[in-house]
Structure 1
Amino acid sequence: MELSYWEHKSWFSDVDFTIVGSGIVGLNCAISLKEKYPKSNILILEKGSLPQGASTKNAGFACFGSVSEILSDLNHHTEEEVVQLVQKRWNGIQRLRNLLGDKAIDFQLLGGHELFPLDKPDFYEKCLQSLPYLNNLLEPVFGQKPFKATENSFHFENIQQKYLTHQLEGQLDTGKMMRSLIYKCTAMDIPILNGITVHDIEQLNQGALIRTTDFEFVSKKVFVATNGFASKLLKSETVQPARAQVLITEPIKNLPIKGTFHFDEGYYYFRNINDRILFGGGRNLDFKTEETMMFGQTEIIQQKLESLLREMILPNQSFQIERCWSGIMGVGAQKSPIVKQISNSIACGVRLGGMGVALGSLVGQELAELAD
């Protein structure tokens, strides 16, 4: 496709900053750039009709790491690295709340609870006994001891009697969050162009050449914020795609469950949203198959999610599945996100490790700071 004079002049000439990806990171990057450079010409490119990846497909957990997740992280990272990562998640949620306001994103501070199936009693005891250590380790981040043991007040079955609860975890409405970010970009005169797939970005002497399916143009700076799809554009960075499968039930009358819930080191997660159970996870059943950029469901994971709904989450309760979907995350051997300069005019903010809601606004801000 050849761009007309009007198309080129209106959208693709004298572009100061181009952001590839209109998810949480990309939109926050654009907002931060506009705040710092109010006269700049900023453009956001998105390959999908809506933001692809995981930004509009996640569970809406404002979480910082369950007990078992943090213990697992400590096997591969130093204490200092783990504390820094949890601090980033905490700072990211505070930035998101301050930027948009709790009402706009329907933020609710209801706590996050980790459940432990009966078949791993030793693991449960290990996590329970680690509470004093983890509380002391993370108290400087939260200003209080975050974890405590609480009773199984929602009557889940086939689990240990106590939850391990993070008192400062919350939940939000993913759709409201993304719409609020998009509205904010629109109000700041930042155009978002959907249906444009970027195939290549080439560093030039001055700026970078962006090649899309239909045309190419030059931007002074380019920021890659495509997370799970980052390996298509960033050959030198290690970001593996990771598909997350999710389902939601039809409304269940008088559903009493409140808060966010995890089990199996965070590989399974669920919550009540509008008297429905949103339930996702199971990637650990088949890691290799789920290392994909393709959306979709698999029988092994869907069957496991439905059986856990029947046997653990909603025992003796009839329910119907209303819809299923999937999202693509970006993960790697390290939990910390990659925010770095790739070349003089190209930078990236990717590999959010399934913590996009908590990390996305902060990573977007840090990515924008690389414009200096």
Structure 2
Amino acid sequence: MHLSYWEIKNWFTDVDYTIVGSGIVGLHAALRLRERFPAAKILVLEKGMLPQGASTKNAGFACFGSLSEIVEDLKTHTEEEVIALVQKRWSGLQLLRKRIPDAVLDYKPFGGYELFLEDEESLYVECVNKMAFVNEILNPIFRGGVFTKEVDRFGFKGTKEYLIFNPFEGQIDTGNMMQELLRQAVAANILILNQQTVTGFEDKGSGVEVALGDFSFATQKLLFATNGFAAELTQGQVKPARAQVLITEPIPNLDIKGTFHLDRGYYYFRNIGDRILLGGGRNLAFEEETTTEMGQTEIIQKKLEQLLKEVILPNQDIEIAHRWSGIMGIGASKNPIVTNLSQNVYCGVRMGGMGVAIGSLIGTELADLV
């Protein structure tokens, strides 16, 4: 790497804690370690120019699961597990808002809505029938009913007359969130190096040797916060899941405000000022979207545009301003993995597409493992 004496001395010598990944989890872990160990040398390594996975690429939903997602989760997880997951997400959101003021997050408590297409009769009936039960099991968390039926006032087309409304959901500015976390990390004397890819590591008992290509350095503890890129670390318990997103040009007189879910969370959209951000569709091509490659595919982009122009904003002339993608970390279970990989190596991964909600909590739990 052709490093100078000064670079090795100041950045790579006497390192106490090295965190791989500068996303929501990694930066919360770093800030929590600084709270616990005021004099420690903390180094964050990030392989991208900016956090590479989903932390700067997500839709900015301050959510904990739509009704259809929770109903679906109850089929693959126990009732206790589902309640615990929602509790973690809700606690994580409160932790995030405690660390970053709402004004900085641009937090807007517009509530969340779920809409059902006209041909989703069985899913709609199932969700409506189970709404009272889901409200009951979530009551200890929210001290009140979470989901209610409301008549669609937004003018969606080809959907059921009623939406499911959730008053506890909000939206944030993802860019503001990450910029503030980075600012806090720098202010806390946490070293952050970008464009650095960890190519190997070895736990030697007394510490860990970390390889960055042909250069290696020693750290007392190594923490991985790489979420969608953690397949090798976890023996396949985490799989990458690409999420494709688009955003429109400004739309005059846009009346849509809030966060919106469709089809068990596989599609989602929101307003950003007078624009619509819309993402999802990986259920159209699960295998192709199980990738760590950024990019878009025609099948998903066409579906997103169809939803936008036929369902969300029918009979309007809409221009797409920008498209991008992010990489989430999912698995057979939606429970995050926060564990020791060896004596001095730890990981906090598998956010299950809920990184905004759960990332702050998982980062804190990861740091508290040390």
TM category, shorter: over 0.9
Partner of 1:35: 35
TM-score normalised to the size of structure 1?
A: 0.98
Q: What is the deviation of 1:120?
A: 1.5
Partner of 2:241: 242
Q: How does 1:187-198 map to 2 (within 5 A)?
A: 187-198=187-198
**1:59 & 1:255 partners in 2: Cα distance?**
18
Corresponding residue for residue 94 of structure 1:
94
* Counterpart-to-counterpart distance in 2, 1:8 and 1:163: 58
Once the two structures are TM-superposed, the CA of residue 212 in structure 1 deviates from its matched residue by 1.1
Alignment of 1:304-343 (within 5 A): 304-343=303-342
Q: Which residue of 2 aligns with 1:286?
A: 285
Contact 1:196 1:213 in 2 (8 A): no
- Determine the structure 1 residue equivalent to 2:122: 122
Alignment partner of 1:58 is 2:58? yes
1:155-234 pair list within 5 angstroms: 155-232=155-232, 234=233
Q: Secondary structure of the residue that 1:216 maps to in structure 2?
A: strand
Deviations 1:34-53 (A, max 9, x none): 01111110000000001100
Which whole-Å CA distance do the structure 1 matches of 2:352 and 2:125 have between them? 27
Could you tell me whether the CA contact under 8 Å between 1:267 and 1:282 is conserved in 2?
yes
Q: Distance in 2 between matches of 1:37 and 1:249?
A: 45
Q: What is the CA-CA distance between 1:4 and the residue it aligns to?
A: 2.0
Are 1:148 and 1:167, in contact at CA under 8 Å, matched by a contact in 2?
no
Amino acid at match of 1:294: E
Q: CA contact under 8 A between 2:115 and 2:164: conserved in structure 1?
A: yes
| CA distance 1:237–1:206, change in 2 (3 Å) | farther
2:146 maps to 1:146? yes
1:58-85: CA deviations, max 9, x gaps? Answer: 0000111111100110001100000000
SS in 2 for 1:347: strand
Looking at structure 1, the residues matched to 112 and 214 of structure 2 have their Cα atoms a distance apart, in angstroms, of 46
Q: Which residue does the alignment assign to 1:106?
A: 106
Find the residue that maps to 2:199 and give its secondary structure: strand
Q: Is the 8 A contact 1:112 1:168 kept in 2?
A: yes
Write out the 4+ residue segments of structure 1 that deviate beyond 3 Å after TM superposition.
none
- Counterpart residue number, 2:367: 368
**1:214 CA displacement:** 4.4
Gap regions ≥5 residues in structure 1: none
Q: Over aligned residue pairs, what C-alpha RMSD do you find?
A: 0.9
What code does the residue aligned with 2:76 have? H
Q: How many residues align?
A: 370
Q: Which runs of 5+ in 2 are unaligned?
A: none
How much does 1:236 deviate? 3.0
Letter in 1 for 2:134: L
How far residue 235 of structure 1 moved from its aligned partner, in angstroms, is 4.8
**Distance in 1 (alpha carbons) for counterparts of 2:55 and 2:98:** 19
Matched residue SS, 1:108:
coil
Deviations 1:271-316 (A, max 9, x none): 0002111000000000000000000000000000001111100101
- Residues 285, 301 of structure 1: 8 Å contact kept: yes
Q: Distance in 2 between matches of 1:229 and 1:205?
A: 25
Distance across 1 between alignment mates of 2:167 and 2:228: 30
Cα separation, 2, equivalents of 1:205 and 1:183:
33
**Rounded Cα–Cα distance in structure 2 between residues aligned with 1:236 and 1:347:** 14
**Normalising by structure 2, what TM-score?**
0.99
Which AA in structure 2 matches 1:210? V
Q: Which residue of 2 aligns with 1:351?
A: 350
- The answer to whether structure 1 residue 271 and structure 2 residue 273 are counterparts is no
Spell out the pairing of 1:8-23 with structure 2 (5 A cutoff).
8-23=8-23
